[in-house]
Amino acid sequence: MRFDHATLVLEDQVIENGHLIIEHGKIAAIGEGPIDDAVSLEGRRVFPGFIDMHIHGADGADFMDGDDEAIGTVLHAVLREGTTAVLATTMTQTVPVIERALDALGRYKQAPSCASMLGIHLEGPFLSTRYPGAQNAAHIVPGDVSTFKRFQALAKGKIRLVTLAPEVQSATFLDTLVQQGIIVSIGHSDATHDQVVAARARGIRRVTHCYNAMRGLHHRDIGVVGSALLYDDMDIELIADLHHVSVPALSLAAKLKPGRMQLVTDSVAAKYGPEGTYQLGGQTIVYAGDTVKTTTGTLAGSVLRLCDAARNMHETTGMDLPALSQALSGRAAELLGLADERGRLAVGLKADLAILDPLFQVYMTIIDGRIVYKKGHTS
């Protein structure tokens, strides 16, 4: 597969009128100018395929549904937004329901023409009841090593990221997760600055959906938000749908966290579906307009597409294309230990690509050198 007249978004530069050659599922060449026997992309932008580290569902399905059909539905739906890989994200629920979901995700075998499931993001139940957000506070529990060991066994070792509130966990539990190579992320947390500092000293250096469902920044205690922005070695997620986070707050994060941001969707089953009621973590949520809320009015995930998150960040904060690429895939690949495999446009890496028009709408999604989505075509 050969493309030219492309805008290639690399780590540190943009190649206008570039070309890209794919062989055997990998990027074989990148360069400037046209080449023979190539498909012209007419200036469209070529990004590495997006990696969504926080996604619950799409197209009427949820990873908590606990079956292969639902998993495949979500992984196929996200191809429309340029996403080529995800961390399947769970919810706070009763332990048996969580275990059923983890068992299904652990047994899942990668299907063709679907985004790759790189692992599992366990969001809850080890959270703070002070900041449950749309999580069901009735099922929030403290973490313990034996419970996590059982979860990980059911998941066949696929749990890669755990969102938790560190201030309500034991040191033993936190240390066990870090020692096992789990990415531990602070979220749904009432942690003070001092408590974040203590967690950071234990190797916890990431914050889930920054600004949302956590202790905010106050001039006498900068809380989770201020701590995340203060320390250069802390990563943050952002839901850039213009509802979860204001434009000034997005701009502040873009300014303070270069290279340490992951744009995520936190999307739910309502994405790509009609407006109406859906289920999330055993609770009823309502999709109306372009937001999803609980029946009490709390934001409950989103219907955001990652390509739209990219557009929003570019148009409202001025984030340039290489920085966007890092926030959409590059940094996620680094955190997951996969930077030598994916997340960048570089010779020898997987040919997982998101090809977008100048308005950030997806024209084509490619996985392992195969076209898995093309605008105007159904699969």
Give 67-118 pLDDT, tens digit per residue.
999 999 999 999 999 999 999 999 999 999 999 999 999 999 998 899 999 9
CB of 184 closer than 8 Å to CB of 127: no
Q: Which residues contact 12 (CB under 8 A, 6 or more apart)?
A: 322
Span 49-335 CATH architecture: Alpha-Beta Barrel (3.20)
Catalytic residue (one of 52, 59, 235, 266):
266
Helices within the chain (DSSP H only)? 68-77, 95-107, 145-154, 171-179, 193-201, 223-230, 247-256, 306-317, 321-325, 331-335
pLDDT of residue 377: 77
The pLDDT > 90 percentage for the chain reads 98
- What's the 3-state SS for 304-341? CCHHHHHHHHHHHHCCCHHHHHHHHHHHHHHHCCCCCC
> Which CATH class, in words, describes the domain spanning 2-46+346-374?
mainly beta
User: pLDDT tens digits for 156-196?
Assistant: 999 999 999 999 999 999 999 999 999 999 999 999 999 99
Q: Is the pLDDT of residue 358 over 90?
A: yes
Residues 77, 59 contacting (CB under 8 angstroms):
yes
pLDDT in tens, 288-310: 999 999 999 999 999 999 999 99
**Confidence at 369, pLDDT banded by 50, 70, 90:** very high
Residue whose C-alpha is closest to residue 300's, from 72, 123, 83: 123
pLDDT value of residue 378: 55
Place 282 in a pLDDT band, splitting at 50, 70 and 90.
Answer: confident
The four Cα atoms 361, 363, 367, 371 give a dihedral, to 10 degrees, of: 160
Phi, psi of 46 (to 5 degrees): -110, 115
Question: pLDDT tier at 379 (50, 70, 90 boundaries)?
Answer: low
266 is catalytic: yes
DSSP 8-class letter at 167: G
Delimit the domains of the chain by residue range.
Answer: 2-46+346-374, 49-335
Question: For residues 320 and 331, is the Cβ–Cβ distance under 8 A?
Answer: no
> Do the domains 49-335 and 2-46+346-374 match in fold?
no
Residue 240 has pLDDT above 80, yes or no: yes
Q: Is the pTM for the entire model greater than 0.95?
A: yes
